[in-house]
């Protein structure tokens, strides 16, 4: 009782403030830290099942104007249940308690006045410091008011992933490109990151962080046709055909992003260590092309085949060359992802290598307005892509960058393709 009374007194100053209504940031845009799976987060119900006091609820917002704001959190609680909360914003800490009025009614825990600055994004950290029931309540949203709120930017969309970011490499018109080489060095490596090195209009090759214990080298090629989800619906004449795969490589189908042939090698590639990739194209006739993906094995110092697929309704060389970085899980979308992309070279049918030193930046729809923490640039003579981390600033869509030439064409000794 003494603890509850103390917290009530600390928060009671908020009662004199007007209703919090200027900005509502939904709970489904928040993150749970340190365990993203500690509670259920959904657009329909906000945050449900928050029971562990070690877990925090995080929101991030950027303020263009410094000043005082009022802060509150809306939630649902069973009738007569009371919860006590702590809200930390920068160096300021506020406490509040609230009693429930049934799970069909939203109540507001008011934290009073806080000061926000304009130096980057502001982190709003909600913690539980006690509850009279089994859970702390179903969190509905963060409420903010005050002059500084008018210029604030928060993601208010259900998608919590950081934006996917891409760089596109212009190539000579009608060039018959038979090989595309890219080196990628991961700088940050959150789980659910895909650093894609060699992309073209028909597929992609790169490296992925699947969990804290598993990493992969991935190579995939799309089918023909328009099926987006289920490969079982793809006619045989539209399916890519697996011709060969390397030792230890798993090959299967994929769907839900178009359909096609997938392959991956489980391998603990290292953050900070350059990884080299090359994809090749060999048209077999006017209607088919064999695409093969290779990765340079660091310990063995040799190129190895990931897989080779025969693509129907093609007959072309490599086109639409690009690289990208993807956050494919929303649970840790607040973490920063960054990689360096360098040593981009193409080889044409005459066997000559040409260096690609110009690239253009783009991003997915999430990067348009919901998540502006997406960047491209040049660092240590290489392009970089980064997203997430709620870093201030952004790179404009379509902005071109040029890196310095290295003048050192790659020496690539690929193993012979053993078609099975």
Does residue 199 sit in helix, strand or coil? strand
Question: Both 86 and 212 in a single domain?
Answer: no
**Residues in Cβ contact with 272 at an 8 Å cutoff, skipping those fewer than 6 apart:** 185, 186, 187
What was the pLDDT predicted at 220?
Answer: 98
Residue 384 DSSP class = E
3-state helix, strand, coil in the chain (%, to 5): 10, 50, 40
Question: Both 114 and 191 in a single domain?
Answer: no
Asked if the structure places residue 83 within a domain, the reply is: yes
Among residues 128, 154, 180, which one ends one of the domains? 154
Rounded Cα–Cα distance for residues 213 and 268 (Å): 8
Residue with the two structure tokens 């008018």? 150
Question: Both 235 and 348 in a single domain?
Answer: yes
Q: Which residues are registered as beta bridge partners of 48?
A: 40
Torsion angle of the four alpha carbons 222, 226, 230, 235, in this order, in degrees rounded to the nearest 10: -90
Among residues 154, 181, 200, which one ends one of the domains? 154
Asked if the structure places residue 418 within a domain, the reply is: no
Question: Both 84 and 137 in a single domain?
Answer: yes
What was the pLDDT predicted at 388?
Answer: 98
Question: Both 349 and 200 in a single domain?
Answer: yes
- Through-space distance between the first and last CA atoms of the chain, rounded to whole angstroms: 75
The CATH number of the domain where 245 resides is what? Answer: 2.60.120
**Residues in Cβ contact with 19 at an 8 Å cutoff, skipping those fewer than 6 apart:** none
- Its pTM stands at 0.93
Asked if the structure places residue 410 within a domain, the reply is: no
Total domain count, the chain: 2
Among residues 123, 154, 185, which one ends one of the domains? 154
Asked if the structure places residue 419 within a domain, the reply is: no
Question: Both 142 and 178 in a single domain?
Answer: no
Question: Both 203 and 88 in a single domain?
Answer: no
Asked if the structure places residue 408 within a domain, the reply is: no
Rounded Cα–Cα distance for residues 344 and 351 (Å): 16
For residues 29 and 156, the answer to whether their CB atoms sit within 8 Å is: yes
The CATH number of the domain where 8 resides is what? Answer: 2.60.120.260
Asked if the structure places residue 415 within a domain, the reply is: no
For residues 147 and 20, the answer to whether their CB atoms sit within 8 Å is: no
Question: Both 80 and 220 in a single domain?
Answer: no
Q: Which range of residues forms the domain containing residue 311?
A: 165-402
Asked if the structure places residue 414 within a domain, the reply is: no
Question: Both 226 and 137 in a single domain?
Answer: no
Asked if the structure places residue 17 within a domain, the reply is: yes
For residues 94 and 112, the answer to whether their CB atoms sit within 8 Å is: yes
Rounded Cα–Cα distance for residues 320 and 229 (Å): 23
**Residues in Cβ contact with 338 at an 8 Å cutoff, skipping those fewer than 6 apart:** 186, 187, 188, 325, 384, 385, 386
Cis peptide before 34 (omega within 30 of 0): yes
Question: Both 9 and 91 in a single domain?
Answer: yes
For residues 27 and 106, the answer to whether their CB atoms sit within 8 Å is: no
Rounded Cα–Cα distance for residues 109 and 76 (Å): 10
Question: Both 106 and 191 in a single domain?
Answer: no
Half-sphere exposure at residue 22, Cβ-oriented, CA atoms within 13 angstroms: 17
What was the pLDDT predicted at 418?
Answer: 74
Taking alpha carbons only, the member of 121, 26, 18 closest to residue 70 is 18
- The pLDDT tens digits along the chain (420 residues) read 334 434 433 443 344 445 566 899 999 999 999 999 999 999 999 999 999 999 999 999 999 999 999 999 999 999 989 999 999 999 999 999 999 998 999 999 999 999 999 889 999 999 999 999 888 999 999 999 998 998 899 999 999 999 999 999 999 998 999 999 999 999 999 999 999 999 999 999 999 999 999 999 999 999 999 999 999 999 999 999 999 999 999 999 999 999 999 999 999 999 999 999 999 999 999 999 999 999 999 999 999 999 999 999 999 999 999 999 999 999 999 999 999 999 999 999 999 999 999 999 999 999 999 999 999 999 999 999 999 999 999 999 999 999 999 999 999 999 988 776
What was the pLDDT predicted at 8?
Answer: 39
Question: Both 214 and 344 in a single domain?
Answer: yes
């Amino acid at each position: 009782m003494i603890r509850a009374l103390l917290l009530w007194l600390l928060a009671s100053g908020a009662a004199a403030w007007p209703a919090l209504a200027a900005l509502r940031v939904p709970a489904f845009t928040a993150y749970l830290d340190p365990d993203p799976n500690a509670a259920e987060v959904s657009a329909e119900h906000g945050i449900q099942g928050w029971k562990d006091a070690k877990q925090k609820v995080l929101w991030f917002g950027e303020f263009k104007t410094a000043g005082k704001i009022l802060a509150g959190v809306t939630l649902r609680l069973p009738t007569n249940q009371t919860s006590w909360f702590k809200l930390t914003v920068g160096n300021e800490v506020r406490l509040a308690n609230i009693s429930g009025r049934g799970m069909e009614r939203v109540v507001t825990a008011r934290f009073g006045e806080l000061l926000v600055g304009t130096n980057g994004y502001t982190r709003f950290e909600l913690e539980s410091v006690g509850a009279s029931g089994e859970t702390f309540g179903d969190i509905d949203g963060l409420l903010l008011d005050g002059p500084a709120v008018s210029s604030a930017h928060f993601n208010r969309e259900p998608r919590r992933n950081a934006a996917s970011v891409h760089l596109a490499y212009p190539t000579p018109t009608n060039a018959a490109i038979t090989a595309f080489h890219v080196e990628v060095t991961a700088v940050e490596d959150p789980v659910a990151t895909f650093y894609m090195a060699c992309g073209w209009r028909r597929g992609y090759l790169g490296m992925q962080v699947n969990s804290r214990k598993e990493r992969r080298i991935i190579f995939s090629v799309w089918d023909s046709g328009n099926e987006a989800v289920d490969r079982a619906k793809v006619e045989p004449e539209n399916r890519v055909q697996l011709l060969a795969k390397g030792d230890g490589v798993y090959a299967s189908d994929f769907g839900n992003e178009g359909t096609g042939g997938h392959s991956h090698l489980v391998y603990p590639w290292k953050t900070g260590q350059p990884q080299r990739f090359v994809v090749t194209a060999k048209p077999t006739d006017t209607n088919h092309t064999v695409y093969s993906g290779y990765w340079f094995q660091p310990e063995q110092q040799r190129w190895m085949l990931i897989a080779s697929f025969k693509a129907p309704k093609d007959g072309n060389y490599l086109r639409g060359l690009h690289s990208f970085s993807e956050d494919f899980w929303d649970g840790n979308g607040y973490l920063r992802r960054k990689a360096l992309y360098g040593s981009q070279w193409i080889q044409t049918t005459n066997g000559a290598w040409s260096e690609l030193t110009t690239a253009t930046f783009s991003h997915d729809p999430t990067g348009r307005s919901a998540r502006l923490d997406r960047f491209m640039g040049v660092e240590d003579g290489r392009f970089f892509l980064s997203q997430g981390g709620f870093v201030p600033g952004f790179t404009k869509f379509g902005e071109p960058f040029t890196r310095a030439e290295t003048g050192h064409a790659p020496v690539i000794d690929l193993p012979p393709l053993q078609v099975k």
